[in-house]
Amino acid sequence: MSWIIIPSKAFKSRYKTKRSKGLKNKVDEALRFLVSEPEPWLYCRKKYGRIEGIYGYDLDDENRILMNFNKELSKIHLLRVCSHKEVYGVV
């Protein structure tokens, strides 16, 4: 299955402002991995509470990619790249 990535404006903005080239490389590597999987949500953590229905993919101990999936249309909507502390305060 081939997944289509759709980054939000917030994702694009945060991705561009992350100063660490290492973090950008982790994001790129994670996205390459996720689009190669038939069921990428299995590698993510489902979020609950205020952001129920959103999934988080851990880049490292501090940073996450927040996304949701449209399984019928094979689309991954990238919402944000953010720190663990920001996850519940930004969506």
Q: Which domain CATH number covers 15?
A: 3.30.2310.20
pLDDT tens sequence across 55-81: 999 999 889 999 999 999 999 999 999
pTM of the model: 0.87
Task: Note down the domain range covering 48.
Answer: 4-90
Instruction: Give Cα separations from 6 to 22, 33, 69, 74 (angstroms).
Output: 22, 15, 10, 11
Amino acid present at 10: A
Mean confidence (pLDDT) of the chain: 89
Total number of domains in the chain: 1
